[in-house]
Structures are given as structure tokens and as C-alpha cells.
Amino acid sequence: MEPQKLTINDFTYELPDDRIAKYPLSNRDASKLLMYENGRIQESTYSKIAEAIPHNSLMVFNNTKVVEARLLFTKDTGSIIEIFCLEPSELYSDITTAMLQKNKVVWKCLVGGAKKWKQETLIKHHEVLQQFEAKKIEQKSDYFLIEFSWANTDLSFAEVLHILGEIPLPPYLNRAVEEQDKETYQTVYAKHDGSVAAPTAGLHFTEAIFESFQEKNILSGYVTLHVGAGTFKPVKSEIMKDHEMHQEFFEVEDSFIELLIQQDKNNIIAVGTTSLRTLETLYWMGVRAITNSSATTIEDLQIHQWDAYELTQNIFYKDALCALLEFMRNNKIKKLIAKTQIIIAPPYQLKVANALVTNFHQPKSTLLLLVAAILKDNWKKVYAYALENDFRFLSYGDGSLLWFTKK
């Protein structure tokens, strides 16, 4: 079946509210780990995950950092205006550049209480920032363009958000942000500001786990994909061809692509759906580099929603990655910065990774479609087992290690 013809109602299950983990466990690596391979399900915990990973494997992590993207303004009338920063405007080439802006920046935002905000400038006073302002520039169909400005020009926008903003917890947690969320809703290896949601599969990993990896010569590699609010975007269309997949920025060093190529005969395990989407995007960018001889810029290689089903399918992953690396070197690119809109859904065959570490996802979501691409109809068996055996679901919940055969 073509993925465009999939019916989202075929990818649902009953998720009781009491199975959604509202808070994380006190010890990250105490979370349960469901392991699936060749039709068999076993249980373990994250603290023992190294025992399930073969020697010389490569674990791929997303080291994006969640930013305090929710800004609250109180008008003179007492009305609260909430501004949720989604991503920078097209004025900036990437999220990092926008985060480093000083004095002012333009951002795409959602606005809570928008009808109460006419055209006046919203103002907050702060002893460090001095004065912080938000000005509405333009209203688009599904977001506002907002210009933020601040008097203390020594501070970057990332620093401004750290001072004034709140962590944007997923809406399905249905609770207020608490002080501990600043730490618990962040991976221990988070490095680059830019996400409005955590790459939640990584929340379970601790320094002790990384030490256990070293003992087995299990390598760690890092990509940066800044998770956008679109990751929570519900699939409202009955047929997938009518659903527009969200785009997300990612960054990858050339040395990481070299590491992937060197792993030719060893396992590659993606930690989180964002890491997996990045790996698959790199493959298809390489395919495009091979098949599109006129490509001269990274934009020429960008992967859109259905490209992975329409491009040439028989190129070995190492050849594709070598072609991408050669393209970067020919164009003197050390760090690949691009956007991806790839959607991974049945009958997609993954090209780079051998396994995925991931949490349990919402019904009727594109993340569940991704899991179904790996497990085929066995996703129902896995999720039924998790529900029947007291696994905790969604961002702060337990997770799984899913093995599959790489084509």
C-alpha cells in the first residue's frame, strides 16, 4: 500500500488517562524497557540497556536542548497573553543563528488570548533584561510573526528565554510546569538550544548508562534536530495524503557522517524518533546527491514529505552517505544545516539504523505510524503488551527497544 492512502483510524488504540505518566520516575534509568525482536517481547530496565546492545554498536542521540519557549505577558487590564515561540522567521538560516541574536529577533509564534491583544506592544520589566517587548508584526493562517526586543544588548535571545520563559510541557500532561521540570524534561546530554519539546527517548539515559556503554565499546554519536511543536500536531485528515507533515531544523557534522560510514558492518541504534528521522533524511539527501547532478546547494537536497517513496529505492546506505559526504566536501561544508519533512510510515523500509529506542506514542499520531513502519502489524501486539503489563506511556513514561531488519 502507498503511505498516502493509509487511514489514520487504523493506527489507534485505547489509552486511558491513568496510563499517561504525569511525572518521571525519581531515577531516570529505573524506567521499564520493553524489548522486541523477531516477534518476541522481553522486559528489562534502562539501567541494563547495555546488556541488550551488541559490542561495537553505535548509539545515535539527539542533543538538542529544550528552551523555555512559553512567554507570559500581563496587560494593564489584567488579561494574560501567552506567546509560544515555535521557530524563527525566514530571516535566519537556522535556529542557532536566531537564538544568538541580540537586541531583537523575529519569531513564528502561537498566541493564547490573541483576541485580547490588539496592536499595542506588550512589555515586561526585569532587573537584568531591563525592558522586554513583544510586537505583533503579521498574522498568518496558523501562526503570528512576533518581533521581540530587549534593552540589555549583552544578552542573546536564548539567554532571554532562560530568564523569562517557561518550559513548554506537552499538552497531554494536562498540568502546570513545576520547578523540577526544568531538569527532568531535559536529557543529560542536551547541548544546543532550539527545541520546544524534549527528544523524550533520551530522558531515560544517565551517566551510569554511558559508562556501561564504554565497557562494551558501544559508541555514542550525536545529531541535533530541534523538535518543533508540530511533533504534537494531530492527524486530523482521515487519509494521510491530506496531512501536512511538519518541518524541523537539524544539524550534523561531517565527522558524524564519516562515523556512520565506518559502521558499515556494525549495528546503528537510533535513540528517539527524531534521531531516526535525521538518519533517514541523511540517506535520502545522499540519494538525491547521486541522482540530481545539477544540485549545488543543500536546499537542492532537501527532503520533503513523500520524497522517500518517490526517489530511487535501490541505493545502498553506505553509497548514499558517501555521496552526501562528497557533496559536502566539494562545497566546503563542515556542518550540514537543513530542514526535513520526511514522514516514515508503512510500508517504509528503514535504510540506516538496525534498532530504535523510543517511548510509547499517542494514538493516531505520525510517531505511531513510524513505529508501525518498523513493526508492521506487530505494533498492536507490542502496545497491547505494554498496556497489559503496567508500562507508563508518553513523554515521562517507559520505553522500548525495537529491532528490525535493515534493507
SS3 content of the chain, % helix, strand, coil (to 5): 35, 25, 40
Peptide bond into 347 cis (omega under 30): yes
Question: Would you say residue 1 has pLDDT above 80?
Answer: no
Helices marked H in 150-304: 157-164, 181-184, 207-215, 254-262, 273-291
- Max mean pLDDT among 86-90, 113-117, 118-122, 267-271 falls in 267-271
Residue 362 — pLDDT band, cuts 50, 70, 90? very high
Given the DSSP bridges, would you call strands 58-62 and 268-271 parallel, antiparallel or unpaired? parallel
**pLDDT attached to residue 405:** 61
**pLDDT attached to residue 215:** 94
Residues 38, 403 contacting (CB under 8 angstroms): yes
| Nearest residue to 273 via CA among 314, 230, 325, 324 | 230
Residue 160 — pLDDT band, cuts 50, 70, 90? very high
Report d(CA 192, CA 65) in Å as an integer.
Answer: 5
Question: Would you say residue 62 has pLDDT above 90?
Answer: yes
Question: Would you say residue 241 has pLDDT above 80?
Answer: yes
Question: Would you say residue 249 has pLDDT above 70?
Answer: yes
Report d(CA 288, CA 342) in Å as an integer.
Answer: 14
| Nearest residue to 54 via CA among 201, 269, 353 | 269
In this prediction, residues 30-36 reach a mean pLDDT of 98
In this prediction, residues 41-63 reach a mean pLDDT of 97
- Return the percentage of the chain with pLDDT > 70, whole number: 99
In this prediction, residues 328-352 reach a mean pLDDT of 95
| pTM (2 d.p.) | 0.93
Helices marked H in 226-336: 254-262, 273-291, 307-310, 317-330
Side-chain-side CA neighbours of residue 317 (13 Å): 22
Report d(CA 43, CA 34) in Å as an integer.
Answer: 5
List the single range of 151-155, 202-206, 271-275, 380-384 with lowest mean pLDDT. Answer: 151-155
Q: Where are the domains of the chain?
A: 3-65+185-403, 69-166
Question: Would you say residue 233 has pLDDT above 90?
Answer: no
| Nearest residue to 370 via CA among 391, 342, 394 | 342
In this prediction, residues 208-225 reach a mean pLDDT of 97
Report d(CA 190, CA 205) in Å as an integer.
Answer: 11
Report d(CA 390, CA 30) in Å as an integer.
Answer: 14
Residues 11, 5 contacting (CB under 8 angstroms): no
| Nearest residue to 293 via CA among 259, 267, 330 | 330
Domain 69-166 has CATH 1.10.10.10: no
Instruction: Give the chain's mean pLDDT.
Output: 94
User: Same CATH fold, 69-166 and 3-65+185-403?
Assistant: no
**pLDDT attached to residue 90:** 92
**pLDDT attached to residue 407:** 43
The one-letter amino acid at 74: T
**pLDDT attached to residue 228:** 83
CATH number of 3-65+185-403: 3.40.1780.10
Report d(CA 162, CA 228) in Å as an integer.
Answer: 18
Residue 127 — pLDDT band, cuts 50, 70, 90? confident
Residue 264 — pLDDT band, cuts 50, 70, 90? confident
